């Protein structure tokens, strides 16, 4: 095919995709990447962090990004990688938990995990043959810490790790990690925090939470939080793929390393071998351009839109399952699957919850008030209100 024809064909396929700026993508945790990403992609297109000795510049950027995210999470000496996404990050953390348990002579690896955990943990469980105890949620839809404590008091020695969530996929709830940390310290248990979504939101809402009297701390300042998933390609505005896994310090590296012949380095710690550098470079560029102030502004805007949606819902007697903690709204609905399918036919793409009968809307930066107004009218029409 001639290049012109190839590009024409590609354009035709691409036209079938939805566009974030049209405001119809309401269920995604990704958004239109920051515009600088295009330039970065061109510059870093061929870089491969699977062999960092060939790309020491790009590797240097990755180290700086990990340091910058570490600072956001109150850790000056983190160790980690910018990888394919939250799934790989969570799997990577549990690889460490498993190896540590094996070194203690454990055959079965027991992990406590809230009902609200993302399905990536199910993949990790299958792959690594982990044993999970699902911890129920309390009335705020966060991990029931009393249940957790009772369980550990009963079976403390058997527990190898706890997974806690900072920004649940369905409702955007944040587990009571300060309390979980106390229990974990007492029994010397590893905590992995999944902040894939919340990691680029919660640090920029500190002021608001302080005023409202909440303690949503989830980071390395808490004892026994040894790893955190934080995805730049969600609220960090980075292009896909840019997930993040951070460990408390370099001492965790050895649990991940496998011997690697043929490379410029003698070992490899990431799950994926050949991996792109442009997501890393773009994350570096966006973090430098926006700075904490830039992110604070974006997050505030998303939260304002979240509250605006809840206000507009009330006008039509739609109810929010919880007072939103992050920029996610769950709209009570007696038949969410059916409603979401009807809405899809009307051109609105949102998802449903599993833990409660509700529709789920994520107020990502590409959503404006005009989009919200149009959506709420469509929802009202759909539900005949
Ligand atoms: C939602 C990802 C999503 C993105 C959904 C776009 C729909 C879209 N979540 O259109 C948590 C708390 C998550 C999560 C993904 C993952 C996995 C881990 N933890 O591998 O980057 O909400 O998809 O992240 P991933």
Instruction: List the pLDDT tens digit at each of the 385 positions of the chain.
Output: 999 999 999 999 999 999 999 999 999 999 999 999 999 999 999 999 999 999 999 999 999 999 999 999 999 999 999 999 999 999 999 999 999 999 999 999 999 999 999 999 999 999 999 999 999 999 999 999 999 999 999 986 799 999 999 999 999 999 999 999 999 999 999 999 999 999 999 999 988 888 888 899 999 999 999 999 999 999 999 999 999 999 999 999 999 999 999 889 999 999 999 999 999 999 999 999 999 999 999 999 999 999 999 999 999 999 999 999 999 999 999 999 999 999 999 999 999 999 999 999 999 999 999 999 999 999 999 999 8
What sign results for the dihedral spanned by CA atoms 60, 66, 71, 77? Answer: negative
Provide the pLDDT for residue 157. Answer: 73
Alpha helices in the chain (DSSP H): 3-15, 36-44, 56-72, 86-103, 120-128, 145-155, 177-187, 206-212, 278-315, 336-345, 369-382
Distance, in Å, from the CA atom of 169 to the CA atom of 234, rounded to the nearest integer, reads 11
Domain boundaries in the chain? 3-34+292-384, 36-287
Residue owning the nearest CA to atom 18 of ligand 1 = 86
Q: Which atom of ligand 1 is nearest to the CA of 231?
A: 21
Distance, in Å, from the CA atom of 122 to the CA atom of 131, rounded to the nearest integer, reads 10
pTM reported for the whole predicted model: 0.98
Residue where the block lists tokens 């058997």: 158
Backbone angles phi, psi at 163, to 5 degrees: -105, 130
Q: Is 114 in the pocket of ligand 1 (CB under 6 A)?
A: no
Distance, in Å, from the CA atom of 65 to the CA atom of 87, rounded to the nearest integer, reads 19
Residue owning the nearest CA to atom 16 of ligand 1 = 86
Distance, in Å, from the CA atom of 314 to the CA atom of 311, rounded to the nearest integer, reads 5
Distance, in Å, from the CA atom of 354 to the CA atom of 337, rounded to the nearest integer, reads 10
Q: Is 86 in the pocket of ligand 1 (CB under 6 A)?
A: yes
Determine the 3-state secondary structure of 165 from DSSP.
strand
Provide the pLDDT for residue 208. Answer: 84
Q: Which atom of ligand 1 is nearest to the CA of 198?
A: 12
Topology of domain 36-287, CATH: 3.40.640
Angle at 296 between CA 239 and CA 174, to 5 degrees: 85
The length of the chain, given as a count of residues = 385
The span from the first CA to the last CA of the chain, in angstroms, equals 53
Q: Is 231 in the pocket of ligand 1 (CB under 6 A)?
A: yes
Distance, in Å, from the CA atom of 228 to the CA atom of 337, rounded to the nearest integer, reads 32
Q: Is 120 in the pocket of ligand 1 (CB under 6 A)?
A: yes
Q: Is 28 exposed, middle or buried (0-12, 13-18, 19+ CB in 10 A)?
A: middle
Residue owning the nearest CA to atom 9 of ligand 1 = 169
One DSSP character per residue, 70-139 reads HHHTT-SS-EEEEES-HHHHHHHHHHHHHHHHHHTT-SS-EEEEETT--THHHHHHHHHT-EEEEEPB-T
Q: Is 87 in the pocket of ligand 1 (CB under 6 A)?
A: yes
Q: How many angstroms separate the alpha carbon of residue 186 from the centre of ligand 1?
A: 32
Q: Is 96 in the pocket of ligand 1 (CB under 6 A)?
A: no
- Please tell me the CATH code under which domain 3-34+292-384 is placed: 3.90.1150.10
Q: Is 116 in the pocket of ligand 1 (CB under 6 A)?
A: no
Q: Is 28 in the pocket of ligand 1 (CB under 6 A)?
A: yes
> Which strands make up the sheet holding 79-83, listed edge to edge?
79-83, 243-247, 225-229, 190-194, 159-165, 110-114, 131-135
């Amino acid at each position: 095919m001639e290049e012109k024809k190839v590009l024409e064909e590609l354009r035709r396929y691409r036209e079938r995709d939805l566009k974030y700026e049209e405001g119809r993508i309401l269920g995604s945790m990704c958004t239109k990447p920051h515009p600088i990403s295009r330039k970065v992609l061109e510059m870093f297109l061929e870089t491969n962090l699977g062999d960092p000795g060939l790309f020491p510049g790009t590797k240097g950027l990755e180290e700086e990004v990990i340091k910058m995210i570490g600072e956001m999470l109150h850790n000056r000496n983190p160790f980690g990688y910018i990888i394919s996404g939250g799934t790989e990050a969570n799997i990577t953390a549990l690889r460490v938990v498993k190896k540590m348990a094996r070194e203690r002579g454990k055959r079965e690896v027991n992990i406590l995990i809230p009902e609200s955990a993302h399905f990536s943990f199910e993949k990790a469980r299958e792959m690594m043959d982990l044993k999970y105890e699902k911890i129920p949620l309390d009335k705020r839809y966060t991990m029931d810490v009393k249940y957790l404590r009772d369980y550990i008091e009963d079976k403390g020695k058997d527990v190898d790790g706890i997974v806690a969530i900072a920004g649940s996929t369905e409702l955007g709830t944040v587990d009571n990690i300060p309390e979980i940390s106390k229990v974990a310290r007492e029994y010397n248990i590893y905590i992995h925090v999944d902040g894939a979504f919340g990691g680029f939101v919660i640090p920029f809402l500190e002021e608001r939470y302080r005023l409202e009297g909440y303690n949503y701390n989830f980071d390395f300042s808490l004892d026994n939080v040894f790893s955190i998933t934080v995805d730049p390609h969600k609220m960090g505005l980075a292009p896909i793929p840019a997930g993040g896994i951070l460990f408390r310090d370099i001492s965790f590296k050895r649990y991940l390393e496998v011997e690697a012949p043929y490379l410029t380095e003698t070992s490899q710690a990431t799950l994926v071998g050949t991996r792109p550098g442009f997501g890393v470079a773009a994350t570096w560029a966006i973090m430098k351009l926006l700075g904490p102030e830039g992110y604070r502004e974006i997050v505030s805007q998303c939260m304002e839109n979240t509250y605006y949606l809840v206000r507009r819902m009330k006008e039509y007697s739609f109810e929010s399952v919880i007072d939103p903690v992050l920029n996610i709204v769950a709209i009570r609905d007696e038949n969410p699957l059916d409603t979401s399918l009807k809405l899809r036919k009307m051109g609105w793409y949102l998802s449903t919850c599993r833990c409660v009968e509700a529709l789920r809307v994520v107020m990502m930066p590409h959503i404006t008030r005009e989009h919200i107004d149009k959506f709420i009218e469509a929802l009202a029409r759909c539900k005949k209100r």
